[in-house]
Structure 1
Amino acid sequence: MTATHSGTPPSATIDPILERALSGADLSEAEGVTLLRQTDPGAIAALRQAADQLRRQQVGDTVTYVINRNINYTNICEQHCSFCAFRRDADEDGAYWLNEGVILEKAAEAVQQGATEICMQGGLNPEAQIDGRSLPYYVRLINLIKTEFPRLHLHAFSPQEVQFIARQDGLSYAEVIAALQAAGVGSMPGTAAEVLDDDVRKILCPEKITSAEWLEIVATAHQLGMPSTSTMLSGHIETPEQQMRHLGKVRSLQQASLANGHTGITEFILLPFVGQEAPKPLRRRVGRDQPVLADALKLTAVSRLFLGNWIANHQPSWVKLGLAGATAALTWGCNDLGGTLMEEHITTMAGAQGGTCKTAAELQSAIQQLKRPVQQRDTLYQPIGALLIEPASAAPKSGF
């Protein structure tokens, strides 16, 4: 390690924090902020090394992936989030609402390609009703797929969609989640979290659920036996303090769920902001179109150090970072490369350059560049098939 002019290693100020994390201690939010504010290359290298070591201690060297398909069933949405290039009004150019035949066709194509999961989310469309009620429409979507493909895991409907259905129909969150679960939903996407700080949400998504509502809905899902994922939309207007506040709320939620005997959160996914096609006010305020890889990797490392005791699986977004950037994140604390997706609209319409589909072979090849074992998994991280251990010839750079 390179020393400063005074002979002190550049990581000296953070070494005690890193040592605490590696010894199994939970870091404080303030310690996380200290790590995020590091700019010295030597300190950042030490941060990466610690996150990678902790990942190895907590989940080993195997990198997982899932064969899945996204179905974004509509982009018609009543809300107007300042970062969203996906939503449309019903009469606007580019608006769409998939019919049942198209949804079934997409599910069939996914099964033919070996998918074990359908991830289904969409806009908040007030017209998506049956006999004047919203919940029956969503239940029908699930029944449609599960009747034809009963073995598919349906990872469907975000906390925001649950709140929308409950509000439309005058139901409790528990009533909505229980009905979706009975129809065949197996887990809840932890999207719509953005940043769990209401000062940020007032600017990013003032019409969306509050931080407390997001936490309540996800906790309710856990209480009913439905696991979820968790996410953070990063790299826009939020501060390191707000990033750590978000991670603190996610960790507290998971601690409570595990204490009550629930599976809780299965993974944490960092979603760096893509602003190329975002509405102009936020795009101008952020001042760039694509994520800053160095910032995303630093936050990836801190997320592992802060959450790893409670949420073992960490995943980057190859759609947002590109496959090379996401592969680099596997050396910064991540242990999962996500899914094949087969199609993706929300981030791609925002201008992401990572693509919309990766084959299982492409994900396997990216992982094998790191000379680490590869394992296909299902949504709940149960292994599928044989472990692939044949390494590729060379590992990629760590991202800097």
Structure 2
Amino acid sequence: MNSVNAILNRALAGIDISPEEAVILLAQKDPEPISAIQQTADQLRQKQAGDTVTYVLNRNINFTNICEQHCSFCAFRRDAEEEGAFWLDFGKILEKTAGAVAENATEICMQGGLNTEAKIGGSSLQFYVQLVETIKKEFPHLHLHAFSPQEVQFIAREDNLSYAEVIATLRDAGVGSMPGTAAEVLVDEVRRVICPEKINSATWLEIVGTAHQLGLPTTSTMLCGHIETPPQQIQHLNLLRELQKKAVEKQYPAKITEFILLPFVGAMAPAPLRRRVGRDQPVLSDTLLLTAVSRIFLGNWISNHQPSWVKLGLAGAVEALNWGCNDIGGTLMEEHITTMAGAVGGTCKTPQELRGAIESLNRPHRQRDTLYNSIGHFLSYSGKLATAPASSH
């Protein structure tokens, strides 16, 4: 316990703890040190992000599940001729977008499978550009949070372009930020098992770093709770921290806006990995400890941390707000990838449901946009209306 306290005291003093120290924290099993870790993460959350819990009104659009890859955790992908395969046309995507705007959404989050037929004039990039421009023409003020590093690499490969050319073209077409998905675990030994056809760790880091240099903000994620070990989890967090430090120190025009922990859901995942993991749903206690250690390890550099209510359920996500998270995520309106894997959290939450969940903790809430700028007003836990500041931090 003494060594744990020493590590936590360093963190509370504003010092970055080392990867080795973070592994020590993750190794704790007894209630007393785990409670101390939780309390430290909560204190750092308050110091680094404040007491207000933020949320975003967004819609998730997965435009196709046709994918050339076969990740061992994925129950979403289909071959083109397979039952359940879909590929939404632009009209359907506009219809979904209009529905989101009618619900006052400020963001469309858009990702899809790697569909080699998704081309216009033989160009993969032109398909993605037209998809973006179709939405932005009708809804110019809507923020598009779209296309993962894996999709950028896929487009670049298909069209023989550099990552920078793809990112700059998508940015200029109207993409406002990049989801930091496809990271899974940034340890190639793990990736060779769970996503052998995906980009490797170095490529993910290169693409996200390039996005920052080109002024495109990104999020960051980790798929946890499957075959990875605690040291590998910390290896992943350390790579994210170093990536963010580089963006800050080199004064890139953009950086990572948030970190999201994505616990593995395996109920409908392919059988080999499901058997190897040995359970279908996340272990909440493990996720919460990793949530706390992530705040302690990353918080000086990435101040916004978000749980996944889709994967943990809303009650689990609310609990994570006591373990270092300051944001409860988005309304989503629809969600397919995790739900098709067997998640029990649901596919949609209304703003009222998210606000009610936050109020159960006696914490104030505030609507934000994708980049954590405040929108409108927020309610303090006293129930009095207060004017939101121009920025969340």
- Tell me the TM-score normalized by structure 2: 0.96
- Give the corresponding residue for 2:45: 55
Give 1:132 shift: 1.0
C-alpha distance in 2 between matches for 1:276 and 1:391? 41
- Give the corresponding residue for 1:283: 274
Determine if contact 1:100/1:141 at 8 Å carries over to the other structure: yes
- Give the corresponding residue for 1:44: 34
Determine if contact 1:74/1:123 at 8 Å carries over to the other structure: yes
Give 1:313 shift: 0.1
C-alpha distance in 2 between matches for 1:38 and 1:142? 46
- Give the corresponding residue for 2:386: none
Q: Would you say 1:124 and 2:114 are equivalent positions?
A: yes
Give 1:60 shift: 1.0
Give 1:391 shift: 5.2
Show CA shifts across 1:96-118 (max 9, x none).
00011110000000000010000
Determine if contact 1:255/1:310 at 8 Å carries over to the other structure: yes
- Give the corresponding residue for 2:264: 273
Q: Would you say 1:21 and 2:11 are equivalent positions?
A: yes
Aligned residue runs from structure 1 range 189-208, under 5 A: 189-208=179-198
- Tell me the TM-score normalized by structure 1: 0.95
C-alpha distance in 2 between matches for 1:372 and 1:334? 12
Read off the aligned partner of 1:188 and give its amino acid letter: M
C-alpha distance in 2 between matches for 1:135 and 1:283? 35
Q: Structure 1 stretches of 5 or more lacking a match?
A: 1-10, 393-400
Aligned residue runs from structure 1 range 224-235, under 5 A: 224-235=214-225
- Deviating beyond 2 angstroms after TM superposition, the runs of 4 or more aligned structure 1 residues are none
Aligned residue runs from structure 1 range 368-387, under 5 A: 368-387=359-378
Q: Would you say 1:98 and 2:77 are equivalent positions?
A: no
2:199 is matched with which residue: 201, 206, 209?
Answer: 209
1:173 is matched with which residue: 163, 174, 184?
Answer: 163
Percent identity between matched residues is 70
* Secondary structure of residue in 2 paired with 1:347: helix
- Give the corresponding residue for 1:396: none
Determine if contact 1:85/1:349 at 8 Å carries over to the other structure: yes
* Secondary structure of residue in 2 paired with 1:387: strand
Show CA shifts across 1:290-341 (max 9, x none).
0000000000000000000000000000000000000000000000000000
C-alpha distance in 2 between matches for 1:318 and 1:139? 31
C-alpha distance in 2 between matches for 1:12 and 1:242? 24
C-alpha distance in 2 between matches for 1:320 and 1:19? 32
- Give the corresponding residue for 1:185: 175
C-alpha distance in 2 between matches for 1:310 and 1:327? 23
How many pairs are equivalent? 382
Give 1:390 shift: 3.5
Read off the aligned partner of 1:210 and give its amino acid letter: N
C-alpha distance in 2 between matches for 1:131 and 1:68? 31
Give 1:133 shift: 1.1
1:309 is matched with which residue: 294, 300, 305?
Answer: 300
* Secondary structure of residue in 1 paired with 2:116: coil
Read off the aligned partner of 1:246 and give its amino acid letter: H
Show CA shifts across 1:84-130 (max 9, x none).
00000000011000011110000000000010000000000000001
C-alpha distance in 1 between matches for 2:215 and 2:255? 8
- Give the corresponding residue for 1:152: 142
2:232 is matched with which residue: 203, 224, 242?
Answer: 242
C-alpha distance in 2 between matches for 1:271 and 1:103? 26
Determine if contact 1:69/1:341 at 8 Å carries over to the other structure: yes
C-alpha distance in 1 between matches for 2:278 and 2:347? 25
1:366 is matched with which residue: 350, 357, 369?
Answer: 357
Aligned residue runs from structure 1 range 81-96, under 5 A: 81-96=71-86
- Give the corresponding residue for 2:388: none
C-alpha distance in 1 between matches for 2:48 and 2:90? 42
* Secondary structure of residue in 2 paired with 1:338: strand
C-alpha distance in 1 between matches for 2:201 and 2:301? 20
C-alpha distance in 2 between matches for 1:386 and 1:93? 46
Read off the aligned partner of 2:11 and give its amino acid letter: A
Determine if contact 1:78/1:124 at 8 Å carries over to the other structure: yes
1:391 to 1:37, Cα distance in 2 relative to 1, 3 A: farther
